[in-house]
Structures are given as structure tokens and as C-alpha cells.
Amino acid sequence: MSNMLSNPVLPGFNADPSFVRGLDEFGNTVYYIANSTFEYFPGVQIHRSYDLLNWELVARPLDSVELLDMKGDPDSGGIWAPDLSYADGKWWLIYTDVKVTEGSFKDCTNYLTTADSVFGPWSTPVKLTNSGFDASLFHDEDGKKYLVNMYWDPREYKHPFAGIQCTEYSVTEQRLLPETSRIIYHGTNVKLVEGPHLYKLKTPAGEFYYLFAAQGGTTYTHQEVVARAKTLDGVFETQPGGFEGEPFLTAYDTPFNYLQKCGHGALVEVGGASKTGDVTQNEWYFAHLTSRPVKNPLSSEIDPRGYCPLGRESAIQKVAWNQDGWPEIVGGKQGAQFVEVPELEVPAQVPNVHQGNREAYALPFDFQTLRIPFTSELGKYEKAESCAGGTAKNGQSDERDCFGELTLYGRESLLSLHTQAHVLRRWQSLNFEATVKVEYDPSTYQQSAGLSAYYNTQHWSALSITNRGNSLPGGLDNPSARMLQITKTDRGNQTSILSVNSITVLIPDGADVWLRLSVCDSTYYYSFSYDGYNFTILPFTGSTTELSDDYTLESYGGFFTGAFVGLFNVDGTGLGIPAKFSEFEYTELDDKPTELDD
């Protein structure tokens, strides 16, 4: 018996999947995918599945400054390509914190932390190396462990991606053994070799060490290659075929494929009572990053292929092994939207996620902060007592009461790399509405709070409640009243959309205000309401393509995340006045948002 999964299995910004099989607290076989989180805190997202079809966000391990200190990290810095593995009865997590993304040097540190459960607690991190990023840990059959990572070359006359470094790790000494370090693979002329994962497998052609690695950069030229050697000291030879070797996975030459940018992933054996290492025993699957571009009807679908506001997502492909002992993607190396998976039994008893990270988390679990933890410095959150709700418009169940109440104290602007009072959740669809009630009483134009459509500090827009005057003590004698403003920052250039178009939307005294972001494929809109149900669209049409890796890449190199919807409070006065957010609702739609029907 088999089922069909639909890719991507993790929609929205869930890049660089580390795919692993292990045992849960009750001894059940369980599958996890760990993803990059870059500048978003807590670091690393872990989803869990027992059947490969249904995935649940269960943990974000790097939830303290002791484990992860990202204050001041650049856009698209922070956590790159974590690696989660299961060995010796515990979980091992390798992660990289990148401090410099532009220029000749790539200042980053790779760490190791361990835990008996993915729910933690996680051990004090061990600093490993600064030589490169995308590190992973290989557990060999003889008990030895090896760290593999891409090796960075800062010399301007050399290509910076110098190859894949392999270094033995001493568990007893909790350190790498530098005398064992060597470059085991240089990739092909596609260049940009990174994202390595090592496996020791028995194939029809014999037993080999297999190295899976990404190449080509995470754009439309992205790919995954496979190389192998009889020993770790041997020469790793690339899978034969093509010009210099056959890509294992790529959509580069299939521009109309549903999944694009395919590459960078990890291999897992599925089925059977235990991991055998013999490719003839069970089935094999490969989790990889992918993107789904928004097409521009005025441009070629081949070059450029489009923009990806949802960022890099995670997909799963079935793998077969040929008689020469090389892996192949079932259905073609471009990757498929629908993939056959075995019918795996979901156990009756599984660890309760709500007694793990969810209950201890300081925010609604879908939300993260930028670079720093959510503490009393930024605000407070009160969970909802129940989610009974009522009936909303169109007969849909109203779940707004499930959000509870979030209070944010005004802090630095949305340009800041340090202290933003800004909590955000991923876009996971290109047809959705996000609505929130905001209670806020600013007294100056230096104070604003509201709803954002955010990619990074240089690319975002926001609908905010602010003040058109300045009624602070000693301030100007301008008329003081609450008003709405749409602010857009595009490549660092700010525009106050309503004001520059001579539009003023004053908020009646004492009125409650609901704000809404409506996303419809390549465009998005803002609207507001005074009763939470009847919304007025504001005169602004945003482009979702401007909140994408691809758009950012046109002006500079930091391009690794995806679009978010955020709740924020900015206060340039330093007074930190509060804004209360409630009744937040994120609703994915089958069609365009309802208020756009007219």
C-alpha cells in the first residue's frame, strides 16, 4: 500500500532541510526535518512526521542567548543550514551563526549541541570551527564522528567555495582534531559546492562513503550532486554522466517544472524495523529545498523564471539505486509535485508537543522575533483561555480569540539590526488574509504600530497607526490626531504612501481599529475596519515579488529568507509606549481575498 504526498511538504520559508530518522520517547520510528532560520529567533525549525505526509512544527531548539546570540547579525545572516542527526541514543544538532554575509570574508561559527529529546533541554554549545558553513556531523560505524562543511577561501583571486572539508570530532575531548582535516571534494565546474552530508551505504556495486552536496547557488541554477569513495581517505568521484558529472537533482534545465531551485538536502531510509545501511532493504527518500516562482506575464518564463516571495521551501522525492550503485530521483531529476510514499503507521502514543516547546514558548508558536529573544524588554503575551470562537462572515468559524493578547513596547525601527519590537510569522500561501486588532495611542509621528509585510530591513511595507502631529511636552503646536499611514521601504528607500499622495485617514476618537493584509498572488493590499468585519481598502497595491530572494539579489547578495507578516511597535522617543494586539487571524484562501471582489 502507498500514499501520495504533495510538495512542498513544508510550504513557506523552510530552507536547507536536514532530514533524519530516529526514535521518539516511546520507541516509535519518527522523521524530522530541521530547517534554517537565518536572523529569526529562536533558531532552527524542527517539524515532525510519522507518515511523511503530515508535518507538525514541534520545536525551535536555539531558544536562549546562551545557545544563539544574533544581535547585530546582518539580513540573511544567523542560522545557516543546520544538521540534525540521531546517534548513540540522543540527538545531535550542528548549526552555523553567520556574522558577515558580504565581502571577501565569511565570518561564521559552527556549534554542536545535544539533547535526549528534540524538545530539549539542549546542552551548552561546543564551538567547532570558523572555516566555513553548512556543517553536518557523520557518525561512522566504528564510532568515530566527522564534521563536514564547505571550506571558505577569502583570497580575492580564488573562488571562495574551496571544497568540502572533513575533520574528525572527538566526543571525549569535545573538540575537532585539526590534524585530521582535509578537503575531500572540490565539486564540479558548476562551482559553489556546499551543503554536504555523508553516508556509508551498501549498494549493488559495493560499500561506499557517499557525499551528497549542493552546487550552483540557491537560484534557478541550483542542483544536488553525489560523489563516492571507498574510504574517507580516498578520492571522491562524482556520479558519472553529463559534462563533468550527472546532477542528482536539479530543475535548471526544466523551466516549466512546478518545483524550481531544487537542491541542498539530505537522504533517509524509510521502512523496516531499523536502519540497515543496505539500499536493497528499504525505500529511500531525499528532502530538499525548492521554490515556486510567481510568473511575470510580461516576461519570459525561462529567463527570468519569476520571483519567489514564499522563499525556499522543503520537498521530498523518492530515490532509487541503479545497478552501478548510484542514486536517482524517481520520476526524473527535476523533482515531482506528487510523490508516492509507503503507508506508514502512525502510532497511537506519541510525545505531546504541547508539553514540549509550545507551552513554554513566549509567543504564539507560529511567530518569531528578529535576532533577539522575546523578553519583557519587548513586551508580554497572554495566551487565550479557549478557542471556542463564534461565527465570522461567510459562515466561517471565527478563531480570532485563539491568539490571545500581545503587548509590544515601542523600540527601534524596522531598519534596526538590534532591538525591534516586531514579531512575525511566515507567509505559507500566496492567497491569504492576516487581520489584527490594534489598540494604540501615539502622541507623535515618531511613534507607530501596526501590521507589516516584511522581507528584510531594506525591503518591507507597513500599515500603521501613528500621529500626524507632535503633542509631546515641548513639542510643536501641530494638530494632534491618530491617523493611518502606509510606509514602504524598497532597497532602503522610504516612501510614506498615503502622505505623498495627499491622502489623510484620521481615526475617530475612541474607535477600535482592525488592520488587514490581503495577499493575492503577485500583489497585496492593506485595509482597515472599525468593527472587525467591514473593511475599507487603502489606495496602495504592493508587489509580492519585491519581498523575495530574487528581487533582493538584483541589488545585493543577501537573499535567503522569505516574506513574513509582522506585528510591530516603533518608538523613536524612547518612551516605549505600548501597543496591544488581539484577534490576530491568518487565513489561507482558495481564491482571491473577498474584499477584492469589487
Predicted local distance difference test score (pLDDT) of residue 544: 97
Strands 145-152, 260-270: pairing is unpaired
| pLDDT digit string, tens, across residues 400-427 | 668 999 999 999 999 999 999 999 999 9
3-state helix, strand, coil in the chain (%, to 5): 5, 45, 50
| Segments of the chain assigned to CATH 2.115.10.20 | 2-353
Instruction: Bin 288: left if φ > 0, else alpha if -120 < ψ < 50, else beta.
Output: beta
Active site annotation includes 16? yes
Can you list the residues of the chain whose pLDDT is less than 50?
273-275, 388-398, 598
Backbone angles phi, psi at 545, to 5 degrees: -65, -25
Predicted local distance difference test score (pLDDT) of residue 19: 98
DSSP-derived secondary structure letter, 465: E
DSSP-derived secondary structure letter, 497: H
Predicted TM-score of the model (pTM): 0.94
Active site annotation includes 283? no
Q: Is 271 helix (H, G, I), strand (E, B) or coil?
A: coil
Alpha carbon distances (Å) from 245 to 204, 229, 238, 372: 20, 15, 6, 43
Predicted local distance difference test score (pLDDT) of residue 393: 36
Place of cell 512546478: 258
Predicted local distance difference test score (pLDDT) of residue 384: 86
**CA–CA distance, 456 with 179 (Å, rounded to integer):** 40
Q: Is 549 helix (H, G, I), strand (E, B) or coil?
A: helix
Question: CATH says 2-353 is which class?
Answer: mainly beta
Per CATH, is 362-596 categorized as 2.60.120.200? Answer: yes
Alpha carbon distances (Å) from 367 to 40, 330, 377, 388, 459: 9, 36, 17, 22, 19
**CA–CA distance, 466 with 441 (Å, rounded to integer):** 8
H-helix segments, 400-500: 497-500
139 grid coordinates: 557518525
| Segments of the chain assigned to CATH 2.60.120.200 | 362-596
Place of cell 570558523: 130
- Choose, from 194, 224, 313, 571, the residue flagged as catalytic: 194
User: Cβ(164)–Cβ(150) under 8 Å?
Assistant: yes
- Choose, from 16, 75, 83, 546, the residue flagged as catalytic: 16
CA angle 425, 431, 432 (to 5 degrees): 45
Predicted local distance difference test score (pLDDT) of residue 2: 81
